[in-house]
Structure 1
Amino acid sequence: MSGQVTSSQSVAKGVFNESHWRMLFALLDAAIPSISLDNAPTQGSVGDQLTISQEELLLAHQNIQATVHDSPSMASYHQYLASRPLDDPKFVTIIKETIGQIPPRLQRQLAGILDFMTTRIGSVICGYSLTPLDQTSLQRRHDILQSWQNAWLPLWPALSRSFLAMAKIGWSQSDQLFAKLGNYDIGNIMNGPAGQTMNFDFLEFDSQEEPCLLETDVVIIGSGCGGSVCAKIIAEAGQQVLVVDKGYYTPPSLLPVPVDRSSVLYEAGLQSDDGATTILAGSCWGGGGTVNWSASLETQDFVRQEWANKGLHFFTTADYQQRLNRVCDFMGVNTAYIQHNHRNRILLDGAQKLGWQAKPCPQNSGNTEHSCGHCTFGCRSAEKQGPAVSWLPAAQKAGARFIEGLDISQILFENELAKTATGVKGIWTSRTVDSISGERVRRRIQINAKKVIVACGALHSPLLLMRSGLKNPQIGKNLYMHPTGNFGAVFNDVVGSWKGSILTSVVSEFENLDGKGHGVKIVASAGLPHMTTFTLPWHNALQYKTDAIKYSHINSFCAIARDRDTGSVSSDPDGRPIIKYTPSRFDRIHIVSGLVAIAKICYVQGATELFPCVMNVPSFKCRKAREKRTLEDQEFVQWLARLEREDLNPAKDTFTCAHQMGSCRMSTSPTDGVVDDCGKVWGTTNVYVADASVFPTASGVNPMITTMAIADRIAGSLVAFWR
């Protein structure tokens, strides 16, 4: 299988017109503009540049010199500031493709807001003037973006956050001077050796009006961490298995994918309905296991006991531990071959210095070293033993069949009253030779099956159950997200945060802040340019561009909360998930505790500047020599107190989420959940769910190993039934 999957070529046709684009780019231009001296000659019109004084330029350059040892020359820095993203066709293309990838519902909402901004009343409300924003000066637009950040009405901070995020991500991918001064070159990664392409024998179909009918014993919807494990176990037991996924396989030779084609691997445009939480969810062959960071942590004892206390006694048995061991052994999970990079070493050494609990994080690397900093966009070496490298090839060897590009719309029932499942139906979409764009074959598919296993993930499994007519009010509720706060730290030496393994250490000192197992874990974050610049705070354009130029010296960290409080997921008219989730104050306080802990670790480990991703907290510049620092240093204590007081306002601050759980939770009765302790959906016959949506509560760790062990249990119960 060698076909490349590319992102949608849609640029919001039929939704965005020239007026929309003009207004949008006027705002993005203000977010990351060309900056020049007020007396310097300009290449474009004066209105295309933000002007600063000679003194401001010198102070900003001195800021860089004080925090990194290889600061750019004044000439290079000035040239970098003067570059204008809007003059770069690549930036414009990335923004248009980004808009084209977000759900139609959100496209229409954004277009409506941009329309409103062009009206007289909209101009007054948005920009305090009768002149539309796209016709005002760059300085005026820049000042308005700043004012929106602290506006009392939640709409304005949310809009500011959205426009700034678009500008940051588009700019970090397109600005050549940023890449040059940051010493980052994706070409070096893509020229490295690629791992083995898995020769998946995907079923394909011709174009006909009537649906294609297929037969199998078990159909599994989803090829991720749950579905792939079920496929291997059931196929090896001699049953006919058909695994289907709406995503497509991308071979290692085409990985990692560029950021502007991230919809190849991820569900595009996902965020909570309040805009506060940016959500990453795998949507490809292999699911989240294709894009995760190799962290392979088992379900912790206190979580297992919590689940057992809910009547799910299986989780505290030796049998469950054996299943955890089995899935880890199959993927070669280990700590023996880890080579910690700079930021992971910072966490381990800093925690040890402070007397805090920390440990290496096991990796599913097949008992070998795996130093891939780009795995969040696919593992080029194929060393990471995700589903597409391990479980699915083994399932195919045992006789399982596969279909990529099949979006299942409904589970079919023979008896509506008894809800006895007989199969599924959906729409298959082919890929072209080189992409999944352009003209493609579509065909209705019906699969008749004795058992249906739903493994679409916590955002889509409940939607499929709802579309299939199931009415249990618990479906889609109890959604846990592991809300995450982000933190950046500058170090004097080049740290090259895109190099080495992403997440090989975990600080667990603060995992039980309430005495009931809720708290935060501190881990290293992926250090790719767009991820670092996305979480970098924007207070004004000069500050942001100045801080971003330190990229090669920035380590990124995150505080991941085991959330106590939940949200829900439902469907929009287009079938896309609507995620109602706002981190509660209870959980936000824990995230702040994690950010404070990261600050302390980085301070004692010699960071020269600290960047919490918190709007109202400025960076802290650490001027004292590392060997003379203590946590009692007055300036640091004063700054830390300011961070500790923060509430992380969801209307203004940004959270991220890469784990979704609980929306079809396991329970002892249908009044409290969606499936029983063997994954069977309450009130149905032949329907099972086997993914992270069945978690009774948040796992508190990366859900991969827990999902696989539960899938092992569910598949094993079916095999035992057939025997």
Structure 2
Amino acid sequence: MSGMLHIGHGLSRGEKRDVTIDCDTVVVGSGAGGAVVATHLAEAGERVVILEEGPHLPTLDHGALRQSESLRHVWSDAGMTLAWGLGGGPSINVTTGRAIGGSSILTGGVCFRIPDHVLDGWSNELGLTELSPKGMESYFDTVERDVHVEEVPESMRSRGTRLFGEGAAMHGAKLKPMRRNTRGCDGCGRCNFGCPHGAKMSVDVSYLPRAIAAGAVIWSDCAVKSVKMDGRRAVGVEARLLDGPRGRARSRLSVRSKRVVLAAGAMHTPRLLRRSGIDRGLPALGKNLTLHPSFRVMARFDEPVRSWEGSLQSAYVDHYEKDEGILFNSLSIPNGVLAATMPGFGKRYWSRAREVAHLAIFGGMIHDDAGGRVFNGPLGHPILTYDMSRRDKARIPRLLRLMGEFFFAAGAREVVLPVFGSAPVDADGLRNFPLEKVPGSKIECSSQHPLGSCQMGSSRDHSVVDQNGKVWGTDNLHVACGSIMPTSLGVNPQLAIMSMATRIAFKLREQKLS
């Protein structure tokens, strides 16, 4: 269905002229937050314009691109954004999407509701009384219907995932079926590079066709530079239309609107607010960034486990999430990428790379404290820092040991830890490995879940938006993306972002535009 999207540019390729348009609501960003808000407002009769910095790639184009080409076309900074580690913690590779559909086209489709204990904390401790489990239930229900959330059958689990589950069960932890936004998934494993079949119900497939059918207009290749303000009132945005693979600005786009909704993600929304001069009196802007620091462990078995078969993410273990803040997710990595990350050189490397079919892989992530910050860097790029808390640093060796122990319990011969320069270890090697003493700079760490840099809260002294997503001290300026999360979630955030955006959209529909 994404091929049915009709993206309005107003200019032919290479044409250079400034453009001014009028609308009721302009939405900056077309991902899990922006697409949802835009759809509901358009279906309520508003004139909606959606601006997206990245390109539009129809479904069939994803299948035609090599993985390296997907990185260049739809991943922000080709997947090379880094949150610089401070205080002895690891630096973290942060991946987000930059295309029509945002990061939703790059996810594994995982859909978790926000855990009740997290919502209880927001409601009882942060004063966000409407965000209780009961208050959010109808929004979860709405999104799950809209994107067709379904349970992944056991038949879609790779042998490697099943073995990890067997090892976890020997430690009293249960492997549970993942829930994903899919319809007719055939397990091709290309989720992180854009689904080539339209089976993943990312927002370019599920929401944006509805928005366009209701009259919304989408502009791709459009970089928003600032929000236009008239006193405390948002009255539009200034943007640049980009041309060519290098994204050079060719024309100016000025949007005059009655409302502005920012949904540019946790890295770019605070940057836009600062560039627009809206950071005064908002001490929390760009702070409270959480990342769900994630780590992978590989294991070699005597038998072939063919971990690339089945669903990219088919199962999880949440036994340790509530008490220890650790969640394990199944995953797979394309063989070429996986082989390139194997340790060793020469013949030793080649002997391991040839055994890709015998490698199982699983991921673990931390329900982290808010240790990150987003700064405005040169050339329009954000700069991220991350000062991992002492509690989170202590969780890393615990997480890695558990994953290794699960694999060894299931019969693995050796495991590969995410420690730069380390060789594979056997069971005795894992027990004796000094994980607690490994410097953060030696640990491979990644994130696909930047959240919280425009935190929602009950006071402008400690947050950026109120519980309806309105930026403190402004009128008709709202935020509806992962940046508004009050705290880390401890689970994959796609469904959470869509549900929070649905709630904000419903609140906006109740307001009279003027």
Same fold, TM-score > 0.5, yes or no: yes
Alignment partner of 1:205 out of 11, 36, 41: 11
Q: In structure 2, what is the equivalent of residue 500 of structure 1?
A: 310
8 Å CA contact 1:537, 1:614 repeated in 2: no
C-alpha RMSD of matched pairs (Å): 2.2
What residue identity is the alignment partner of 1:371?
G
Give distance in 2, aligned partners of 1:541 and 1:272: 32
8 Å CA contact 1:568, 1:579 repeated in 2: yes
2:91 is aligned with 1:280: no
1:688-707 matched pairs, under 5 angstroms = 688-707=478-497
1:47-66 matched pairs, under 5 angstroms = none
2:259 is aligned with 1:451: yes
2:403 is aligned with 1:598: yes
Q: In structure 2, what is the equivalent of residue 245 of structure 1?
A: 52
Deviation of the 1:552 alpha carbon: 2.4
Q: In structure 2, what is the equivalent of residue 264 of structure 1?
A: 73
Give distance in 2, aligned partners of 1:655 and 1:386: 26
Q: In structure 2, what is the equivalent of residue 668 of structure 1?
A: 458
- CA shift in 2, pair 1:478/1:647, >3 Å: farther
Give deviations 1:8-59, integer Å, cap 9, x for gaps: xxxxxxxxxxxxxxxxxxxxxxxxxxxxxxxxxxxxxxxxxxxxxxxxxxxx
Deviation of the 1:307 alpha carbon: 1.1
Q: Secondary structure at the match of 2:352?
A: helix
Give distance in 1, aligned partners of 2:420 and 2:322: 27
Alignment partner of 2:200 out of 384, 392, 397: 384
Give distance in 2, aligned partners of 1:382 and 1:501: 15
Q: Secondary structure at the match of 1:701?
A: coil
Alignment partner of 1:401 out of 209, 214, 217: 217
Give distance in 1, aligned partners of 2:302 and 2:498: 41
- Please, which moves more after superposition, 677-686 or 207-216? 207-216
Give deviations 1:434-456, integer Å, cap 9, x for gaps: xx437978210000011100000
Deviation of the 1:513 alpha carbon: 4.1
Deviation of the 1:254 alpha carbon: 1.9
8 Å CA contact 1:502, 1:526 repeated in 2: yes
Give distance in 1, aligned partners of 2:247 and 2:181: 38
What residue identity is the alignment partner of 2:180?
Q
8 Å CA contact 2:321, 2:327 repeated in 1: yes
Q: In structure 1, what is the equivalent of residue 389 of structure 2?
A: 584
- Please, which moves more after superposition, 450-459 or 317-326? 317-326
Alignment partner of 1:536 out of 337, 342, 362: 342
1:129-278 matched pairs, under 5 angstroms = 197-205=3-11, 211-256=18-63, 257-261=65-69, 262-268=71-77, 269-274=80-85, 276-278=91-93
Give distance in 2, aligned partners of 1:391 and 1:500: 26
Alignment partner of 2:174 out of 351, 357, 365: 357
Give distance in 2, aligned partners of 1:721 and 1:313: 20
Give distance in 1, aligned partners of 2:446 and 2:302: 27
Deviation of the 1:202 alpha carbon: 2.3
1:535-684 matched pairs, under 5 angstroms = 535-538=341-344, 542-615=347-420, 617-621=422-426, 636=427, 638-643=428-433, 645-684=435-474
Q: In structure 1, what is the equivalent of residue 269 of structure 2?
A: 461
Q: Secondary structure at the match of 1:408?
A: strand
What residue identity is the alignment partner of 1:270?
T
Give distance in 1, aligned partners of 2:52 and 2:382: 17
Deviation of the 1:315 alpha carbon: 1.8
- CA shift in 2, pair 1:502/1:648, >3 Å: farther
Give distance in 2, aligned partners of 1:512 and 1:204: 50
Give distance in 2, aligned partners of 1:440 and 1:668: 41
Q: In structure 2, what is the equivalent of residue 427 of structure 1?
A: 240
Deviation of the 1:541 alpha carbon: 5.1
Give deviations 1:300-332, integer Å, cap 9, x for gaps: 011111111211112215231110111011111
Q: In structure 1, what is the equivalent of residue 164 of structure 2?
A: 347
Deviation of the 1:336 alpha carbon: 5.7
8 Å CA contact 1:272, 1:579 repeated in 2: yes
Give distance in 2, aligned partners of 1:425 and 1:535: 42
Deviation of the 1:205 alpha carbon: 1.8
1:36-75 matched pairs, under 5 angstroms = none
Q: Secondary structure at the match of 1:363?
A: strand
Deviation of the 1:458 alpha carbon: 0.4
Deviation of the 1:265 alpha carbon: 1.1
What residue identity is the alignment partner of 2:35?
S
Give distance in 2, aligned partners of 1:497 and 1:225: 28
8 Å CA contact 1:488, 1:536 repeated in 2: no
Give distance in 2, aligned partners of 1:506 and 1:220: 34
8 Å CA contact 2:369, 2:392 repeated in 1: yes
Q: Secondary structure at the match of 1:345?
A: helix
Give distance in 1, aligned partners of 2:355 and 2:141: 42
| Larger helix percent | 1
Deviation of the 1:495 alpha carbon: 2.8
**Identity over the aligned pairs, expressed in percent?**
28
8 Å CA contact 2:369, 2:388 repeated in 1: no
- Please, which moves more after superposition, 489-498 or 529-538? 529-538
8 Å CA contact 2:30, 2:101 repeated in 1: yes
Give deviations 1:174-193, integer Å, cap 9, x for gaps: xxxxxxxxxxxxxxxxxxxx
Give deviations 1:153-199, integer Å, cap 9, x for gaps: xxxxxxxxxxxxxxxxxxxxxxxxxxxxxxxxxxxxxxxxxx76233
Q: In structure 2, what is the equivalent of residue 306 of structure 1?
A: 121
- CA shift in 2, pair 1:651/1:201, >3 Å: closer
Give distance in 2, aligned partners of 1:503 and 1:644: 30
- CA shift in 2, pair 1:232/1:655, >3 Å: same
Higher relative contact order by CA 8 Å / sep ≥ 6: 1 or 2?
Answer: 2
8 Å CA contact 1:535, 1:613 repeated in 2: no
Alignment partner of 2:290 out of 477, 480, 504: 480
What residue identity is the alignment partner of 1:504?
S
Q: In structure 1, what is the equivalent of residue 476 of structure 2?
A: 686
Deviation of the 1:642 alpha carbon: 2.5
Q: Secondary structure at the match of 2:379?
A: coil
Q: Secondary structure at the match of 1:459?
A: helix
Matched length: 500
8 Å CA contact 1:422, 1:450 repeated in 2: yes
Give distance in 2, aligned partners of 1:396 and 1:197: 13
Give distance in 2, aligned partners of 1:565 and 1:235: 35
- CA shift in 2, pair 1:438/1:661, >3 Å: closer
- CA shift in 2, pair 1:692/1:441, >3 Å: closer
- CA shift in 2, pair 1:609/1:645, >3 Å: closer
Give distance in 2, aligned partners of 1:449 and 1:307: 32
Deviation of the 1:546 alpha carbon: 3.2
Give distance in 2, aligned partners of 1:325 and 1:237: 20
Deviation of the 1:555 alpha carbon: 1.8
8 Å CA contact 1:374, 1:498 repeated in 2: no
Give distance in 1, aligned partners of 2:114 and 2:340: 31
Q: Secondary structure at the match of 2:489?
A: coil
Q: Secondary structure at the match of 2:488?
A: coil
8 Å CA contact 2:119, 2:133 repeated in 1: no
What residue identity is the alignment partner of 1:510?
Y
Give distance in 2, aligned partners of 1:208 and 1:616: 51
What residue identity is the alignment partner of 2:354?
I
Deviation of the 1:530 alpha carbon: 4.8
Q: Secondary structure at the match of 1:322?
A: helix
Q: Secondary structure at the match of 2:218?
A: strand
1:306-345 matched pairs, under 5 angstroms = 306-308=121-123, 309-335=125-151, 337=153, 339-345=156-162
